[in-house]
Chain A
Amino acid sequence: MSDFDAIDSLLAAVGPEAELPAPRVRRELRERARLSKAQVARALGVSPSTVAGWEGGRDPVGETRTKYAYLLDGLAAKFAADTEPETASPAEPAAPPVSDPTADSPSPEPAEGDEVETLAVPEPCVLCGHPAGTRVAGFAQHLDVVDCRTTATAAAPPADPTARPANAQAPRPPSRMARPSERSKGPAGRAFQEASGPGDLIGQAVQGALAEHQGDVEAATAVLVKRAIPDAMRLLDESRKGARYDVIAHPWIPDILKKQTSRGADQIWEARPKWTRAELPPGRHEVTTLDINGAYLSALKTHLPLGQLEHSTGLAHDRRRAGVHLITPPEWEHEAVLPNPIGQRDEPGPLWVTEPTLRLLLRLSSPKYGLCEPPEIHESYTSGATENLLEKFRIALKDARDTAIAEADEVTLEYVKAMYSKFVSTMGESNYNRELYRPDWMHIIRSQAFANLWLKALKAHDEGLTVVRAMGTDELHVIGDWRRVFPEGRGVTEVKVKDTYTAGTGTTEHTGTEGEEE
C-alpha cells in the first residue's frame, strides 16, 4: 500500500501549481492583515527576503508555493468584502460578499451556517472542475447551481477513483491533494489571527474630546494635546499587555546619564547633525529643503536596553545588547560631501555615544561601506536589548497618523504628534512624566532619528544628489532631482518639501514656498 501512497504523493506533486495573485496584490493582502514579512516567512519556513522577492515579482515553487497560496487565499477570504474589486477574475461568478461591513470579525459566518469564503484566485470546482471563486466548508465550488450544472457533464472529475484501489476516499482534484492537510479541517478565515494591539484608544480619545466640546476643533485639540503624555503612557501600557518584556521604568541610572545640574546636560553625545557643505559646486543651483515626516515616530523602532544598565570595559560590541558607550570616534575624511556621523563635535577625544550612533559607525566601517575606521570602544553601560519594545506603540500611532492624513483629520494628527514627541522628550528626567525615568531611551531614540537622517543623506549622496545641509532631526537640503530618490508625501516613509531656494556663486536668493512645519 505504501507504494501507492508514494505514487500518490508524486502524482500530487506534478499536478498543476497553485495559482497566486499578482505580486502587488500579495503585498497588499499581507499589509492589510498587518503581518510583517518576518511573520509570514516564519510561518512558511523561508527567509523574509524570500517573501520580499515573491512580493516583488518572483514566484515560489513546490510545496512552499502551495503554502503561500493557502495563506494568500486565507487573507483574501478575510478581506473578501474589500478586496473583491481588485482580485476578482472574469471567470468568477457573482458571489455574494460574505462578510458584512464589519469585516474585522474573526470568522465571517453567513446566514446558511456553512462557511463561504471568497478565493483570491479561482480554483477548480469540486463538482464540475471549472474555476470557481468561492469555497464552501473547505471545498472550492460554485455557489450558483446554474454555473455549475451547465458544465458538469462536460468536465468529469479528473481523477478516476476506480483506477486506484488504494485510494478509497472520495475523488479530489489534484490541486487539492497537493495542499497541506489543514485546509480541509477548517476555513482559511482562521488561518491567521488579528494582530492583538492596543485597540482604538486614540480614536476613542479624539471622539470623546470632540463630543465633549460639541465639535469645537480647536478646543478639542488643545485638550487632547494637554493630556498627550498620560495618554501616551496608557497606550504604552495597553500595547505591552501579554508582551514578553516589561517596561522597566525606574532602573538604576549611571552618573553619566544624570544631569549635572537641574538645567544642565548629562554626558551623552547624541550626534545631532548640524552640517553645511563647505563649498557648493560651481554655478547657481536650486536647493530643495526636504522635511522627513515623523522622524521621532520612526525612531521609536530602535534597539532599546530592557533592564538596568551594566558596566563593562574593553569588550567588543555585542549585537544583542544596547546602551551607551565611551568610544574614540574614527577620523572622518568625507566632510566635504557628507556630514560626520557623530555630528559637529568640537573637542577631540573619547565621548559617550548611544547605541544607534555606534551601530551607524560600525556599519560605515564595514567592508560594504568602507567609509571610516571602526570606532574604538573603551567602556559600555549596556543591557539586553530588543527592537520590538515600542513596536506596537509605534504602529498604533503610525496607523492613527496615516488614517488622520487620509481623512484630513487635523485633531487626530495634532494629538498623535503631541503624543509621540512629548513621549520621547519627557521619558527622561522630566517632571511632566514621572511614570517613565529612562534618560537612556530618550537619548537612544533621538540618536536613532539623527542616524536615520544621516542615512538619508548618504542615500541622496549615493544616488548622485548633492547634499548641501543636514540639520537637526528632519531637515535635509539637496540639489538635484530628489524625486527619483525619495517619494514625496506625508507618510513616514516619504519626504515633504519645506522650502526651495537658489544658492551658489553670487548671493543666496529666496524664492521659496514655505511648507508647514511637521
Chain B
Amino acid sequence: MPEKNIDFGKFGARGIRGSDAVARKLDELAGGIATPVTVRRGLMARLHYLTKSAHARRAAQDAGLTVTDRTLKAWLEGGRSPSKANLARIDAAYRAVRRQNVARHLLKRLNRDGRGTRVEIHPLDQSQVARPLQRVVEYRTMNVRRWDRIVGSWAAGDYQGLDDAWTTDVLPDLGSQWGQYEYVTNIGFAA
C-alpha cells in the first residue's frame, strides 16, 4: 500500500487512526452505562448486566470474567467488593458483552438494506506543522455500504482487523488521495 503513512506526526501533524475514530464512534453509538465502574452504582449496573441470564454469564466468562459464581454473588450482595484488577476485568467484560449484544442491531442500521451510511471524514490537524510543509487536506464525505467486517471486528475487539477493514476496504474509495485520510481528527456517522 504505497499511500500508507510511515512516520505519522514527524512534522507535527496530529490525529488518530481512522479505524480508532470509527471504533470510538461505534462505542458512542452503542451507548451503555455512563457511570464509571469505580462507583458502586456503576459497578452494580455492570454486574447486573453480566449476570442477567445464563447466556449473559457465559458471555462474561468468555470475555474474561473468570470468577466463581460464589464471588459474583458476594459482589452483588455487597459482602465483598472487587479488587482493582477485577474492577478492570468487569469493565472490560462489560464492554465486550455490550458490543456483542448491540452489534447485530447496529449493523442492520448501518447497512440500511444495502443503502449504506454517509460517513464524514474530518482531516488531520495541521496547525502545528510548519507553514511550507502544510498541505490542503479537505473535509470529505463518502457513503459506506458494507459494514459487516467493520462492525464484526469491532464487536470481537479485533482492532487490527478493524484497521484492515477500514484502511484497505473503505478508505481507497476516496480516490488517489486516500492516504491523507489514514489519520483524522474525527469520523462522524449516524446509525
Q: Which residues of A contact B120 (CB under 8 A)?
A: 248-251
Q: Which residues of A contact B34 (CB under 8 A)?
A: 261-262
Task: Decide if B185 is an interface residue (CB 8 Å cutoff).
Answer: yes
Q: Which residues of A contact B139 (CB under 8 A)?
A: 246, 248, 307-308
0/1 string, B101-131, CB within 8 A of A gives 1: 0000000000000000000101000010000
B146-191 contacts to A, CB under 8 A, are 185-191
In order of increasing CB-CB distance, the 9 nearest A-B pairs are A250-B188, A434-B190, A252-B186, A262-B34, A435-B190, A250-B120, A252-B185, A308-B122, A252-B122
Are A249 and B186 closer than 8 Å at their CB atoms? no
Complex partner residue of A251 from B29, B127, B186, CB under 8 angstroms: B186
A261 CA to B187 CA in the complex, in Å? 22
Are A251 and B190 closer than 8 Å at their CB atoms? no
- Tell me the interface secondary structure of chain B in the complex: mixed
Task: Decide if B71 is an interface residue (CB 8 Å cutoff).
Answer: no
Task: Decide if B141 is an interface residue (CB 8 Å cutoff).
Answer: yes
> Can you name 8 extra interface pairs (CB under 8 A) apart from A307-B139, A308-B122, A437-B190?
A251-B120, A252-B122, A262-B34, A308-B139, A308-B186, A310-B127, A434-B191, A437-B188
Are B188 and A249 closer than 8 Å at their CB atoms? yes
Complex partner residue of A250 from B31, B127, B186, CB under 8 angstroms: B186
A178 CA to B78 CA in the complex, in Å? 94
A251 CA to B31 CA in the complex, in Å? 19
10 A-B residue pairs with CB within 8 Å: A246-B139, A246-B141, A249-B188, A249-B190, A250-B189, A250-B190, A310-B127, A434-B29, A437-B188, A437-B190
A262 CA to B139 CA in the complex, in Å? 29
Q: Which residues of A contact B141 (CB under 8 A)?
A: 246
Q: Which residues of A contact B187 (CB under 8 A)?
A: 250
Are B188 and A251 closer than 8 Å at their CB atoms? yes
- Closest-CB distance, A386 to chain B (whole angstroms): 15
0/1 string, A251-278, CB within 8 A of B gives 1: 1100000000110000000000000000
Number of interface residues of A (CB under 8 A): 15
A405-463 contacts to B, CB under 8 A, are 431, 434-435, 437
A6 CA to B92 CA in the complex, in Å? 88
Q: Which residues of A contact B25 (CB under 8 A)?
A: 250
A308 CA to B191 CA in the complex, in Å? 21
- Closest-CB distance, B129 to chain A (whole angstroms): 15
Which residues on B are within 8 Å of A, measured CB to CB? 25, 29, 31, 34, 120, 122, 127, 139, 141, 185-191
A246 CA to B191 CA in the complex, in Å? 20
Q: Which residues of B contact A250 (CB under 8 A)?
A: 25, 120, 186-190
A217-258 contacts to B, CB under 8 A, are 246, 248-252
Residue in B closest to A310 when the chains form the complex, CB atoms = B127
Residue in A closest to B121 when the chains form the complex, CB atoms = A250
A434 CA to B188 CA in the complex, in Å? 10
Q: Which residues of B contact A435 (CB under 8 A)?
A: 190
Residue in B closest to A264 when the chains form the complex, CB atoms = B34
Residue in B127, B190, B191 with the greatest tally of chain A CB atoms within 10 Å? B190
- Closest-CB distance, A257 to chain B (whole angstroms): 13
Residue in B closest to A259 when the chains form the complex, CB atoms = B34
- Closest-CB distance, B116 to chain A (whole angstroms): 14
Residue in A closest to B31 when the chains form the complex, CB atoms = A431
Residue in A closest to B188 when the chains form the complex, CB atoms = A250
Q: Which residues of A contact B190 (CB under 8 A)?
A: 249-250, 434-435, 437
Are B188 and A308 closer than 8 Å at their CB atoms? no
- Closest-CB distance, B94 to chain A (whole angstroms): 16
- Closest-CB distance, A241 to chain B (whole angstroms): 15
Are B122 and A251 closer than 8 Å at their CB atoms? yes
Q: Which residues of A contact B31 (CB under 8 A)?
A: 431
- Closest-CB distance, B160 to chain A (whole angstroms): 25
Q: Which residues of A contact B122 (CB under 8 A)?
A: 251-252, 308
A261 CA to B139 CA in the complex, in Å? 30
Residue in A closest to B29 when the chains form the complex, CB atoms = A434
A307 CA to B31 CA in the complex, in Å? 25
Q: Which residues of B contact A434 (CB under 8 A)?
A: 29, 190-191
Residue in B31, B141, B188 with the greatest tally of chain A CB atoms within 10 Å? B188
A435 CA to B29 CA in the complex, in Å? 12
Q: Which residues of A contact B29 (CB under 8 A)?
A: 434
A435 CA to B34 CA in the complex, in Å? 22
Complex partner residue of B185 from A261, A308, A431, A437, CB under 8 angstroms: A308
A307 CA to B186 CA in the complex, in Å? 12
A431 CA to B122 CA in the complex, in Å? 22
Q: Which residues of B contact A310 (CB under 8 A)?
A: 127
- Closest-CB distance, A435 to chain B (whole angstroms): 5
Residue in B closest to A433 when the chains form the complex, CB atoms = B190
A310 CA to B186 CA in the complex, in Å? 13
Residue in A closest to B127 when the chains form the complex, CB atoms = A310
